[in-house]
Amino acid sequence: MEMDNVINGTFKGERYKELGRLIELERTAHRINLQKISARHQMERSGSLSEQIEKNESSRMDVLDDLKEQREILMQKDYSMDERVNDPRIVALSKTVEAVFGWLFEPLQFVFVFSVLISILVELGILIAFDTITAAMLPTLMAQHEAEIETEVLRTRMAGEAQREDILHDSELNRGHKRADRTMDEAESMMKNFKKRAR
């Protein structure tokens, strides 16, 4: 009978009121427990977060210290003991330069000067090769150029003459058409006059 007691889609009755009250008590207890768990979690999190921040900060400081030490080592290092720099060929060449010219180079300085010298020599080689090829081919290129110019001049003259002849031809055709039109007009007028007289 109590199930039939519905007002606006809500069950009304003593049993439902009791159930509603119990549900509300459970919800309140659930909210309180959730707030306690959330507060405890927040405290644990803030504690672990501060520990994590401290750990990250200390590791960051360690990395920065290592980088600073490595930078100082690199800035002070002269590479004199590095086997890659002390290649026997480079040492031999630098000793030869020192013996001949009296210039004392460190291996890295010698490599730099040598690479600049090689670059300049390669550029000079390219420039000389280009100039030599150009000088050797200049007469051939001039002959080709002169032949092309003569051909182009001849082509231009012929085109000009052809155009002039076309213009003269067109003017002669126009004159012929005008004469023919006049002759036809005269013939028509004579025919009209002849017909008038014949009547």
CB atoms within 10 A of CB 90: 17
17 against 95, higher pLDDT: 95
* Tens of pLDDT, residues 51-78: 777 888 888 888 888 888 888 877 776 6
Residue at token pair 């800035």: 75
Domain limits of the chain?
1-77, 82-199
Provide the strand spans (E) within the chain: 6-7, 10-11
36-47 pLDDT tens trace = 888 888 777 776
Sign of the four-CA dihedral 19, 24, 30, 33: negative
Cβ atoms within 10 Å, residue 110? 20
* pLDDT higher than 60, residue 190: yes
The two tokens of residue 147 are: 């032949």
pLDDT-derived band at 11 (thresholds 50, 70, 90) equals low
Interior angle at CA 24, CA 34 and CA 43, nearest 5:
10
The gap between the terminal CA atoms of the chain, to the nearest Å, is: 133
Q: Between 166 and 22, where is the model more confident?
A: 166
pTM, 2 dp: 0.32
In sequence order, the 6+-apart residues with CB closer than 8 A to the CB of 86 are 80, 107
